[in-house]
Amino acid sequence: MNKKPAIQEFIKGLWDENPVLVQLLGLCPTLAVTSTAENGLAMGLAATFVLVCSSLLVSMFRKVIPSQVRIAAFIVIIATFVTIADRFLAAFVPDISKSLGPFIPLIIVNCMILGRQEAFASKNGIWRSLLDALGMGTGFTLTLLVLSSIREILGAGTWFGLTLFSGEYAWGVMALAPGAFITLGCLIAAANLINERRKA
Amino acid sequence: MNNTAKIIIVLTIITIISGGVLAVLDAYTKPRIDAYQNKLKNEAVAQVLPGGVKTDVIEKGDKLIYEATKNGTVVGYAFQVSGGGYQSELVIMVGVTADFSEIIGTKMIAQVETPGLGTKIEDDPSKKDDPGWFMNQFKGVRTVPAISYVKNAKPSKATEIEAITGATISSAAVVDILNNGIKEAKALLNK
């Protein structure tokens, strides 16, 4: 039984157990869709939606799902919510859906989501699982927002589509894969540095 | 309860509910998604044909060919062509003159080629004043005997276009798809 106050389950996802910077989960979509802030935000919100809904259901039925087939059950639940998110995006914001491309369906295999089901939602009550999912999702979204903002501003001179300075002075590599890796690496290094100072 | 039975029952229930929810969702979102796809297609058709034309759809099996007429005379046709690219299916909307001998315009509808290389066939960020230069090349290109490409050189014939450096396979695929698709549409209309 957890002795932590419930609100800690939410807060830990924001920094101490940040899924991207600390747990290094879900890095594939993190690198791929963060070329613009709009895409990073959309991916973060979609993944959070899937995580919250899946955690709720898995936690609700954790005593009913037999252990031998729990992964299969988690995947079906996750895939259902991802499909819901994908169809909604395609129907209501088709331009964003088109630019996110195959990465929305790929949320199904985002290890952050399956990871939280296995590590937490399948072993904890509904309220705590909800807070855990919200915390992880929010941490994920905020990290993606920061990463994609850096990449969009430096790589294209825009932020959420608004031009800040002429694209001519932009550092093009930021918008491509190498820029993603470099920026993410720097963010993780910065997070580690901050955490080390905090412990000292 | 027998564990195997429990496994079968739980998984069956989960998947039935999942299937049911998604079927309802599909029925609800399909009209909007189809409407958007149609809007994109109509915009693409308008883009590859000259202005001020009236378009009618000709159905040949499952292929749609758009006939463009101005004051009663046919001035061109627009249709979708597709085929394999380097690592994805390429879907292109092409507009040709009434005798299929010249391309009026092209528009890339769908491609998922290698980012930064193959994707240059649709958007080349290195050419800031004309990022869509590759597809724009096809305007006015003659189709007979066949469209071809050259590498690292300026096209010298009316049927030639320049391939993208580092994306030869994607470029060649576009040329092949256009050649085959135009020939096919031409045959369908018995021209």
SS (H, E, C) chain B: CCHHHHHHHHHHHHHHHHHHHHHHHHHHHHHHHHHHHHHHHHHHHHHHCCCCCEEEEEEECCEEEEEEEECCEEEEEEEEEEEECCCCEEEEEEEEECCCCEEEEEEEEECCCCCCCHHHHCCCCCCCCCCCHHHHCCCCCECCCCCEEECCCCCCCCCEEECCCCCHHHHHHHHHHHHHHHHHHHHHCCC
Structure confidence at residue B38 (pLDDT): 86
Indicate whether B168 and B132 sit together in one domain.
Answer: yes
CA A45-A51-A56 angle, to 5 degrees, is 130
Structure confidence at residue A1 (pLDDT): 53
pLDDT higher than threshold 60 for residue B186: yes
How close B160 comes to chain A (CA, Å)?
31
Which residue from A142, A150, A136, A134 is spatially nearest to A41, judged by alpha carbons? A142
Cβ-Cβ contacts under 8 Å, A72 against chain B: 11
Indicate whether B80 and B2 sit together in one domain.
Answer: no
How close B110 comes to chain A (CA, Å)?
10
A94/B33 Cβ within 8 A: yes
Q: Which residue has the higher pLDDT, A173 or B107?
A: B107
Indicate whether B35 and B74 sit together in one domain.
Answer: no
pLDDT higher than threshold 70 for residue A2: no
pLDDT digits (tens, 9 = 90+) for A91-119: 998 888 888 877 888 898 888 999 999 99
B115/A177 Cβ within 8 A: yes
Mean pLDDT to the nearest integer, B120-131: 83
Taking CA atoms, what residue in A is nearest to B23?
A: A84
Binning pLDDT at 50, 70 and 90, where does residue B1 land?
A: low
Cβ-Cβ contacts under 8 Å, A151 against chain B: none
Indicate whether B162 and B74 sit together in one domain.
Answer: yes
pLDDT higher than threshold 70 for residue B24: yes
Q: Which of B10, B11, B29 sits opposite A88 (nearest CB)?
A: B29
Chain A 156-175, CB below 8 Å of chain B: which residues? 167-168, 172, 175
Please answer whether residues A164 and A158 qualify as being in contact, where contact means their C-beta atoms are separated by less than 8 angstroms: yes
Indicate whether B82 and B111 sit together in one domain.
Answer: yes
**How many domains are contained in chain B?**
2
Q: What is the mean pLDDT of chain B?
A: 89
pLDDT higher than threshold 70 for residue A167: no
Taking CA atoms, what residue in B is nearest to A72?
A: B11
Going by C-beta distance under 8 Å and a sequence separation of 6 or more, which residues neighbour residue A86? A97, A104, A105
pLDDT higher than threshold 80 for residue B42: yes
Indicate whether B35 and B101 sit together in one domain.
Answer: no
Taking CA atoms, what residue in B is nearest to A58?
A: B14
Cβ-Cβ contacts under 8 Å, A101 against chain B: 112
Best mutation target, A50, A58, A61, A69, to test chain B (most B CBs within 10 A): A69
pLDDT digits (tens, 9 = 90+) for A22-73: 999 989 889 988 888 988 999 999 999 999 999 999 999 999 999 899 999 9
B10/A64 Cβ within 8 A: yes
Q: Which of B3, B32, B128 sits opposite A66 (nearest CB)?
A: B3
Indicate whether B8 and B62 sit together in one domain.
Answer: no
pLDDT higher than threshold 70 for residue B181: yes
pLDDT digits (tens, 9 = 90+) for A124-158: 999 999 999 999 999 999 999 999 999 988 887 88
Cα first-last separation, chain B = 71
Indicate whether B18 and B53 sit together in one domain.
Answer: no
The ranges assigned to domains in chain A are 19-199
* Residues of B at the A interface, defined by Cβ within 8 angstroms: 3, 6-7, 10-11, 14-15, 18, 21-22, 25-26, 29, 32-33, 36, 112, 115-116, 125, 128
- Residue-number span of the structural domain to which B4 is assigned: 1-48
Indicate whether B80 and B160 sit together in one domain.
Answer: yes
Tokens for B143? 């189709």
Taking CA atoms, what residue in A is nearest to B30?
A: A91
User: Residue holding tokens 């939606």?
Assistant: A49
pLDDT higher than threshold 90 for residue A81: yes
Global pTM value? 0.77
Best mutation target, A76, A82, A166, A176, to test chain B (most B CBs within 10 A): A76
Taking CA atoms, what residue in A is nearest to B16?
A: A76
Indicate whether B73 and B34 sit together in one domain.
Answer: no
Indicate whether B1 and B82 sit together in one domain.
Answer: no
Binning pLDDT at 50, 70 and 90, where does residue A175 land?
A: confident
How close B100 comes to chain A (CA, Å)?
32
Question: CA–CA separation, A84 vs A45, rounded Å?
Answer: 13
Indicate whether B91 and B169 sit together in one domain.
Answer: yes
pLDDT higher than threshold 80 for residue A3: no
pLDDT higher than threshold 80 for residue B12: yes
Mean pLDDT to the nearest integer, B5-24: 94
Cβ-Cβ contacts under 8 Å, A167 against chain B: 128
Taking CA atoms, what residue in A is nearest to B10?
A: A65
pLDDT higher than threshold 90 for residue B88: no
